[in-house]
Amino acid sequence: MKIGWIGLGNMGIPIASNLIKAGFNVKIYNRTAAKGEELVKQGAVQAENLQELVETSDVIFTMVSDDAAVKSLYFDQNLFGLADAGKIFIDMSTVSPKTSKELYNVAKKSAVSFLDAPVSGSVQPAKDGTLIVLVGGEEATYQQVKPLFEPMSKMSLYLGDSGSGSNAKLAINLLLGITVQGIAESVLFAQNQGINTEDMLTIISESAVGTAISKMKTPSILHNDFPAAFALKHMAKDLRLASETDELLPIGTSANETYQQALANNLGDEDVMAVIEQLRKK
């Protein structure tokens, strides 16, 4: 299958790179063409425009920042309208399930296939090819493209009808947001009681509640430095989408409020763990 890839952000570049390394024919497009230079060196072909990319690809991946960017691509720039019948579109962006279902319905009318397939994992798992791909749409379409998910992930899961992938992504990021806030609150409580921060983080990571995320975020907490592996603004967006999809329960509601406040206090470009700075102010 010839692959088209649209969107070369922090996640898109390593995922497309893994497809190239696996031997797939990959054509790329990004509004800022310079972002594709690294992939071109690896063997990708840079498309002049969206029409060229869609016309010469069997499967078109999109991975952009939010609902507005996705709608701009598919609706304002008429991505489905550029495609012959039978093409397959896979959106890996984290967007509202409502948006994914809307795209699926428009795709059907255009005689093309559409899957929502966001991923669980951040930049390092994207580089390592150990993401988890969460797929919604028609199962027959998923089976067709399943081999494409293998170079980028440790597993792909078919979860049901259109929007299921997006719902699962919001659910796992809800847990992530709660977990990161919980780590921050535990550390701050310990600090206020005179417990050494490094000792407390060791207790967390080595106990039954220790997780990969607690170990991963330990250096940032200790150095009070939060370079973005997963930017806080994206977590704030995901929790907002979750709250718009369904009424959140108490812990989820608290997390959503905290991240929205952190976003309003200019912490959006910091790593999600910078939520500890928001909580420290309280």
Same domain, 214 and 97: no
Task: Please compute the mean of the pLDDT values over residues 30-35 and round it to a whole number.
Answer: 90
Residue 49 — very low, low, confident or very high, per pLDDT cuts 50/70/90?
Answer: very high
Residue linked to tokens 């009318």: 109
Query: Pick from 136, 161, 186: which residue ends a domain?
Result: 161
Orientation of helix 164-192 relative to helix 197-206, angle to 10°: 140
Residue range 206-234: mean pLDDT, rounded: 96
CA angle 50–235–264, rounded 5-degree value? 105
Amino acid occupying residue 9: G
Residues 131, 226: one domain? no
Domain match, 128 and 173 both: no
> How far is it, in rounded angstroms, from Cα 179 to Cα 214?
9
Which of 137, 161, 185 is at the close of a domain?
Answer: 161
What's the rounded mean pLDDT across residues 187-202? 98
Q: Are residues 146 and 206 in the same domain?
A: no
**Closest Cα partner for 173 from 130, 219, 116, 231?**
231
- For residue 225, CA distances in Å to 125, 195, 197, 274 come to 21, 20, 14, 8
* C-beta separation of 115 from 88 below 8 A: yes
146 and 178 belong to one structural domain: no
Q: 31 pLDDT band (50/70/90 cuts)?
A: confident
Residues contacting 62, CB < 8 A, separation 6+: 6, 7, 70, 73, 74, 79, 89, 90, 91, 92, 93
Cβ pair 222, 202 in contact under 8 A: no
**Arithmetic mean of pLDDT over the chain:** 97
Residue 233 confidence class, pLDDT cut points 50, 70, 90: very high
pLDDT of 205 above 90: yes
Q: Which helix (DSSP H) or strand (DSSP E) does residue 92 occupy?
A: none
For residue 182, the domain's CATH number is 1.10.1040.10
**Cross-strand bridge partners of residue 135:** 158
Using an 8 Å Cβ cutoff, are 153 and 132 in contact? yes
Instruction: Decide which of 161, 181, 197 is a domain's last residue.
Output: 161
**Catalytic residue list:** 169
Q: Are strands 2-6 and 153-160 parallel, antiparallel or unpaired?
A: unpaired
**Average pLDDT, integer, range 44-64:** 97
Q: Residue 282 pLDDT > 90, yes or no?
A: no
Q: Assess whether 152 and 184 both reside in one domain.
A: no
The number of angstroms, rounded, from the C-alpha of 220 to the middle of its chain's C-alpha atoms is: 21
- Specify the number of domains making up the chain: 2
% of the chain at pLDDT higher than 70: 100
* Helical H segments across 43-162, by residue range: 50-55, 67-71, 97-109, 123-128, 139-149
The two three-digit tokens of residue 259, written as one number: 């991240």
- The pLDDT score that the predictor gives to residue 265 is 97
- Over residues 127-178, the pLDDT tens digits come to 999 999 999 999 999 999 999 999 999 999 999 999 999 999 999 999 999 9
Q: Mark whether 83 and 203 lie in a shared domain.
A: no
Q: Domain residues for 68? A: 2-161
φ, ψ dihedrals at 37, nearest 5°? -60, -45
Distance between CA atoms of 235 and 180, rounded to whole angstroms? Answer: 10
Q: Residue 277: how many CB atoms within 10 A of its CB?
A: 16
147 and 255 both lie in a single domain: no
